[in-house]
Structure 1
Amino acid sequence: MKVIPMAYAATAASAALAGSSNSSSGAPPLSCNLTDIVLELPANQTQLYQPNTTLSAVALGLGVQNYTCSNTSTWTNVGAVAELFDISCLYNTPLFNTIPNITYAAWDITPEAVTPLDLISAFSGDPIVLGQHYFIPNPFGSGVSPKFDFTSARDKGNANAFVVGARAGDLPAPTGNQDADWLQLNGVQGELATTVYRIQTKGGQPPASCTPGSSPISVKYAAQYWFFGSTLTN
């Protein structure tokens, strides 16, 4: 039976999120100093580098990675959709780096009709929703680009509260090939951030192969997203 582990994992994750929550309607929490928060990247690697700008938020991303089957029988990533919850104030707690794992444990066995917001809200009541993550047509070329959009949540009413990113670094997850890569994205449009990092990933990788013509698939995942270098003004 999966009811007990789902309830346990979701309760633990949402209790942690509740600790950094005061409202899903807009204002960021006031109880933590973002200048104390340090991005920790794996040593002895050159794909991701430390930011030189100011941190504006750390989010838990909970959603799906989307794939289509290529004519070479491999899955090709065509974007992601995720809800972004504020976990900035959980820094220096034991749950900060484990929240993606804990939340993913519940998310992975949650029925398809349940959304990330449904899952977190059912247990924590009122988490701070920063915004949404999804993909759009590349504004400067072919393919698609990741977008982080806070215009309908934390920064509602600010049309510039988004960032479209371009990949600047890609590191296989230190936890293994079952987890989505860690990424560094440079902002190419919008004022939400100049650099975004995806780290502490859990899940998100497709099966090793597919049959050409197979239907697209969505693979659940969780991750931390770090936003640096905001130029937003009120």
Structure 2
Amino acid sequence: MRLAPILLSMVAVSSAAPSNIFNNIYDFSDELAEFYGKVSKYIDDVRHNVTPSATCDTSKISLPSFASGLPSPDGATPMYVALGRGTQNYTCADSTSSSTPVAIGAVASLYNATCIAANYPDLMEMLPNIAYKIALPANEYASMPPANIQLMGHHFFYDSTTPEFNLDTTAIKQYGVAMTKKQSQLNAPSSAAKGENGAVAWLYLTTTTGTVGEYKKVYRVNTASGSPPDTCKGMPSAFEVQYAANYYFFGN
């Protein structure tokens, strides 16, 4: 029996992943072991006809349970899910404890994890806790470990209040553009990978003028790291904090 293509792509990362996953600096061996252990179990299930669907049925996509603290999609249709890997960006008025960091946006690469979210939601929820400590591939268009998923687009801020998700990766892969506005947030759960200062909040965003495509709602969930220190003591005027998160896109 052929193994599900999604699972094969995850297994392939063992030979294709950047060396920094396996060097002595990388300290998420327990999470990686659990991730690949789950992948192995799913492969074994396929071999024994206990088969999660190998198709990419987006109707099966649902937000993680903790996101119930955010407004519901209210019947909106799941479109895509992306693993985001990049930085949260901050500024400081000075380098003293009397100042606090001010958020000025984020920059991230977005990797298409739609089929993982549809078929293996437990793996999907694990990805940010692993990915935030893996450097982005040197080749922008290379796949992202540990799930060996392909670049879908980029996340950045169009202006100080407008998070943009440009999913038009290449001339062939055109997924549209979601221009958004934050509507509400929820503190990350205690299980989130905190990094040095904590995981950034989970977010609910709605689309605004300039959106290309049927996007209506975007959720940032399963966040890992990204928060700044409590004060600006010893910090430069501008700095970045590494983070990862899952982004769920809903439309008409």
Is TM > 0.5 for Structure 1 vs Structure 2? yes
Instruction: Tell me the distance in 1 between the aligned counterparts of 2:144 and 2:219.
Output: 28
Q: CA deviation at 1:6?
A: 2.8
Counterpart of 2:45 in structure 1 is: none
Instruction: Tell me the distance in 2 between the aligned counterparts of 1:42 and 1:125.
Output: 23
Q: CA deviation at 1:123?
A: 5.4
TM-score (norm 2): 0.67
Counterpart of 2:105 in structure 1 is: 79
Q: Aligned pair 1:102/2:130, yes or no? A: yes
2:247 to 225, 229, 232: 225
Instruction: Tell me the distance in 2 between the aligned counterparts of 1:126 and 1:99.
Output: 11
Q: Residues 123 and 179 (structure 1 numbering): CA distance in 2 closer, same or farther, change over 3 Å?
A: closer
Identity %: 31
Q: CA deviation at 1:217?
A: 0.5
User: Could you say what secondary structure the match of 1:98 adopts?
Assistant: helix
Instruction: Tell me the distance in 2 between the aligned counterparts of 1:123 and 1:42.
Output: 25
Contact kept, 8 Å, 1:83 with 1:117, in 2: the verdict is no
Q: Aligned pair 1:132/2:154, yes or no? A: yes
Q: Tell me how many residue pairs correspond in the alignment.
A: 203
RMSD: 3.6
Deviations 1:177-233 (A, max 9, x none): 700100000000313411000000000001110049832010000000000006xxx
Q: Aligned pair 1:173/2:188, yes or no? A: yes
User: Could you say what secondary structure the match of 1:169 adopts?
Assistant: strand
Higher helix proportion (structure 1 or 2)? 2
1:63 to 86, 90, 111: 86
Q: Kindly provide the amino acid, as one letter, of the partner of residue 167 in structure 1.
A: K
Instruction: Tell me the distance in 2 between the aligned counterparts of 1:167 and 1:79.
Output: 12
Q: CA deviation at 1:157?
A: 5.5
Counterpart of 1:152 in structure 2 is: 169
TM-score (norm 1): 0.72
Please show how residues 184-223 of structure 1 align to structure 2 within 5 Å: 184-189=204-209, 190-192=211-213, 193-211=215-233, 214-223=236-245
- Unaligned regions of 5+ residues in structure 1, if any? 20-29, 138-142
Please show how residues 27-46 of structure 1 align to structure 2 within 5 Å: 31-42=55-66, 45=69
Q: Bigger CA drift: 167-176 or 215-224?
A: 167-176
Instruction: Tell me the distance in 2 between the aligned counterparts of 1:95 and 1:152.
Output: 24
Deviations 1:136-189 (A, max 9, x none): 12xxxxx3310000123486457xx10111111111111267001000000003
